[in-house]
Every structure is written in structure tokens, then in C-alpha cells.
Amino acid sequence: MKDYNLPLYEWNLIDIGTRTRFTAYSYELGSVFGLMFIVFAVLWLRAHNVRGLIKIRLDNAMEFCGGSERKLRQWNMILSTLGVILEAIPAGAKHLMAVVENSHRDDDEYFLMIHAERCNNTKTFLYKAQQWQDTWNFYKPSHGKGMHGLTPYRKLKKSKIAINSHVLKFPVLLMEDLLKTAGLITLFFKSHLTGKYVHIKYI
């Protein structure tokens, strides 16, 4: 992947109830990307009629809260306007990461080792990554707890929740591209994450 300058870092959110997966990629890691990915995913859910409180468990990696209780409180304050609560996975509770870790293993075996090596530019890579995510969400059965061999799509339909299945078509993004197009949202994130005043000129 390095030979073609493809993004090396993967971002994931997985719904434990349906095993639906949202994915993004980036060339670099950072807490700005971490928060942006969460916000974008939540806005996607809200736009598809997902109501009520959304709880997200985070690992203690530096691109999220890095084990900092202060940063976790800060992020929760920011995300409270979207009806989101973040919870850090306790140190040593690696079993709570099992679903995500298993998805990474599937990535390696069924996507990265087969398809990613054939991509010679980022656009093609993201296209293939979108196909892989769509395969995961619509056609890949899960035998995890409570899934009974259903795909995320079938589990969503079985739940009879009033959410259109288009929610499963989350766009696989390059975080650097999202950062460029976020505009004032980017300034908002940076001001909250760094604690520095950001001057905005009004026209």
C-alpha cells in the first residue's frame, strides 16, 4: 500500500445490535479526525431517522481520548448537542474490543490482502473499500451473539425499526478530504480540542 501512497489508517464504528459498520480512512492519525469521524457518522444516523440517545464505546487510543478523562468530558460536552454519550473501554477489558478486532481480521483476509494490493491510487482504493463495506453490511452473515447468522441488513429489517436500509450505505471517506471541505466545522473542532481562540472575520 505504501508503494502507491494509499491511506494506512482505518476508522470504524460498529453497531453491536446489527453489526452494521461505518468506515473511513486517513493518511494520519489525530484527535481532530477522531472527533470528526464520530460527528459525521452520528449526523448520518440522525439524517436516517435514528432517534434517541447514541452510546459509543471508545478504545484508549490517542486518536480518540487517549485515556484522558478531561478530554472525554470535553468530547461528551461537545457531542451532547447531538444526543451522544461516549464511554471509554476500561483498561484491561480487551474483550469489549472483540467485535472491532474481529472486523480488522476480516479486513486483512478478505479485503486488504486481496483487493487493496491491486489499487494504484487512492480513488480506486476508496471505491474498493466502499464495495467491501457494502458487502459487509448487506451480504456478510454474522454468527456473533444475537445475530443467528443474519447479515446486518437482515437484522435491521427483522428489528422492524423505522429506519431506511439506505443508512447502511455510509460513504467510505478519506478523512483528509472531509477536513478540507468541513469549513467552519473544522475551526470549531480545532478551537475545542486545542483550547485556543479562533478569530473568524465576519463579512
Query: What pLDDT does residue 86 have?
Result: 95
Q: Which CATH number is correct for 2-194, 2.40.50.220, 3.40.50.970, 3.40.980.10, 3.30.420.10?
A: 3.30.420.10
Q: What letters, b where the CB count within 10 A reaches 16 and e where it falls short, cover 137-171?
A: bbebebeeeebeebbbbbbbeeeeeebeeebbebe
Query: What pLDDT does residue 112 have?
Result: 83
Query: What pLDDT does residue 62 have?
Result: 78
Question: What radius of gyration do the chain's Cα atoms show?
Answer: 17
Query: What pLDDT does residue 3 have?
Result: 67
Beta carbons within 10 angstroms of residue 124's beta carbon = 15
pLDDT per position as a tens digit, 27-76: 999 888 999 999 999 999 999 999 999 999 988 777 887 778 899 999 99
For the entire predicted model, the pTM comes to 0.84
The amino acid at 8: L
Name residues of the chain where pLDDT drops below 50.
Answer: 195-203
Domain ranges across the chain: 2-194
Cα-based distances in Å from 76 to 82, 121, 187, 199:
10, 37, 18, 24
